[in-house]
C-alpha cells in the first residue's frame, strides 16, 4: 500500500521510510543486538559513565548507567531517564547521545535505566522496573552524590509513558514524587481514541498501526496492573504530580494525547510547559545534528535547570505555556 507523503522537514527525510521490525519472531534477535550498545558506553574527558545494578521488585538486577559531568559538585541534581522504543526495543544510539546532552547541558547526573522489555516482560514489569530505579536513586542518592530533593524523571515515547507512570506511582504509594517530569512525544493514552491516532495511520517511525502492535506486546492483559500506570491520562486524579514538560511532534499519532495529557494535568493544578514542534515526525531526535533537534534539546535542558532550581513551595504553581 502506498504511503501518504507528509511535509516533513528535510532534516528528517532520510528517515521517512523507516518502519520498525514489529514481527514477534524478529524482536528477540533485535533486542539482543541493540542491547549490546549499553555495554559500549564509556567515559570521556567531560563525562564519567559508571555501570550500576538496581534491584527490581522481584529481585532481578536492572542494568543502568550513571552519567556524571566530571566537575559536578555534590550533592547534584539528577534526571532518571527512560528511553523510548515502544516498550519492546532497547535504547537506540541517539538515546545515549541524549543522555550525554542532558547531563552536560543541565549539569546534572543522568541515571539511564535499561528496563526489561515486552513481549517477554509485558506490563507491569517495565513500569515496575522504572519505579524501582526511581526509588533506588532517591534512597541511595547520598551515596551516589545525588540530591534527593532534586531528582526528575523523563523519557521519550514509551519512556514518556513510563516517566508519567512513575510519577503517578510515587504519589500513590507515598514515595517522594520527582521534582519534575519531562515527557517527549509521550504515550499517555492506551485507548488510542484521539484524532491524531485516527489520522496518522502511515506516518514514518511510528504510526497508529505500529502503536496497535506495541500495545499488543506491552499490554496483553490490561488487568495485570493498575490501568493508570499503562495509560496515565485515565487516572482519576492527576493532583499533586510534578511540573511537566511536554513536547509533541507534528506528524505523529501520539501528537494529540500529549497535548490532552498536559491539559488534564493543568486541570488538577499541575504546571505544564508545552512545546509543539513543526515539520517533525515521531522519534525525530534520531537526527541529532538537526537544528530542530538542537533547539528542542535546549528547551528540555532549560526546563530541567529551572526545575532543579525551584524550591518546594513553588512546585504547585499552575501555568500552561505553549510554543
Residue 285 phi, psi dihedral angles, 5° rounding: -60, -15
Domains and CATH numbers, the chain: 12-311+318-322 (3.40.50.1820)
Active centre residues (catalytic): 157, 252, 282
Task: Write the DSSP assignment of 100-157 as a string of letters.
Answer: HHHHHHHTSEEEEEE---TTTS-TTHHHHHHHHHHHHHHHTHHHHTEEEEEEEEEEET
Neighbours of 5 (CB within 10 A): 8
Q: Across the beta sheet with 320-322, what order do the strands follow?
A: 47-55, 61-69, 109-114, 76-82, 146-156, 181-184, 244-248, 272-276, 320-322
Helix (H) or strand (E) holding 295: helix 291-309
Residues 254/282, Cβ–Cβ less than 8 Å? yes
* Residues 180, 129: Cα–Cα separation, whole Å: 19
Across the chain, how many H-helices and E-strands are there?
9, 9
CA atoms lying within 13 Å on the CB side of residue 15: 19
Classified as helix, coil or strand, 79 is: strand
- Helices 158-172 and 125-139, interaxial angle, to 10°? 60
What is the spatial distance between Cα 79 and Cα 66, in angstroms, rounded to a whole number? 10
Cα torsion 212, 214, 216, 222: sign: negative
- Report the C-alpha gap between 95 and 79 in whole angstroms: 14
- Divide the 323 residues of the chain into consecutive groups of 10 and give the mean pLDDT of each group: 87 91 94 96 97 94 97 94 98 98 97 98 97 96 92 98 98 96 98 97 95 97 93 98 98 98 98 98 97 98 95 37 48
Q: Which residue has the cell 535505566?
A: 113
Helix (H) or strand (E) holding 247: strand 244-248
- Cβ-contact 203, 281 below 8 angstroms: yes
pLDDT value of position 319: 37
Which residue in 78, 28, 87 sits closest to 219, CA to CA? Answer: 87
Q: Which residues contact 223 (CB under 8 A, 6 or more apart)?
A: none
pTM summary value: 0.95
Non-local (6+) Cβ contacts of 278 within 8 A are 9, 250
Amino acid at each position: 500500500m502506498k504511503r501518504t507523503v507528509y511535509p516533513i522537514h528535510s532534516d528528517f527525510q532520510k528517515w521517512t521510510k523507516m518502519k520498525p521490525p514489529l514481527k514477534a519472531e524478529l524482536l528477540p534477535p533485535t533486542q539482543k543486538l541493540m542491547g549490546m550498545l549499553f555495554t559500549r558506553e564509556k567515559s570521556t574527558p567531560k563525562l564519567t559513565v559508571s555501570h550500576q545494578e538496581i534491584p527490581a521488585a522481584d529481585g532481578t538486577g536492572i542494568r543502568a548507567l550513571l552519567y556524571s559531568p566530571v566537575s559536578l559538585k555534590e550533592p547534584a541534581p539528577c534526571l532518571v531517564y527512560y528511553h523510548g522504543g515502544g516498550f519492546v526495543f532497547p535504547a537506540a544510539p541517539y538515546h545515549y547521545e541524549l543522555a550525554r546532552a542532558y547531563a552536560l547541558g543541565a549539569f546534572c547526573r543522568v541515571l539511564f535505566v535499561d528496563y526489561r522489555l515486552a513481549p517477554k516482560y509485558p506490563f507491569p514489569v517495565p513500569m515496575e522496573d522504572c519505579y524501582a530505579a526511581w526509588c533506588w536513586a532517591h534512597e541511595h542518592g547520598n551515596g551516589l552524590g545525588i540530591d534527593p530533593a532534586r531528582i526528575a524523571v523523563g523519557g521519550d515515547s514509551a519512556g514518556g509513558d513510563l516517566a508519567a507512570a512513575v510519577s503517578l506511582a510515587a504519589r500513590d504509594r507515598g514515595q517522594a514524587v520527582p521534582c519534575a517530569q519531562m515527557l517527549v512525544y509521550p504515550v499517555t493514552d492506551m485507548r488510542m481514541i484521539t484524532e491524531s491516532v485516527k489520522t496518522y495511520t502511515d506516518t514514518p517511525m511510528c504510526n497508529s498501526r505500529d502503536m496497535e502492535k506495541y500495545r499488543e506486546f506491552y499490554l496483553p492483559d490490561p488487568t495485570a496492573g493498575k490501568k493508570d500506570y499503562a495509560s496515565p491520562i485515565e487516572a482519576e486524579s492527576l493532583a499533586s504530580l510534578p511540573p511537566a514538560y511536554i513536547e509533541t511532534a507534528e506528524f505523529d499519532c501520539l501528537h494529540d494525547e500529549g497535548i490532552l495529557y498536559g491539559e488534564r494535568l493543568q486541570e488538577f493544578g499541575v504546571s505544564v510547559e508545552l512545546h509543539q514542534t513543526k515539520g517533525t515526525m515521531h522519534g525525530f531526535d534520531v537526527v541529532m545534528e538537526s537544528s530542530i533537534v538542537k533547539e528542542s534539546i535546549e528547551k528540555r535542558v532549560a526546563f530541567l535547570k529551572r526545575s532543579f532550581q525551584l524550591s518546594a513551595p513553588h512546585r504547585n504553581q499552575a501555568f500552561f505555556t505553549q510554543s
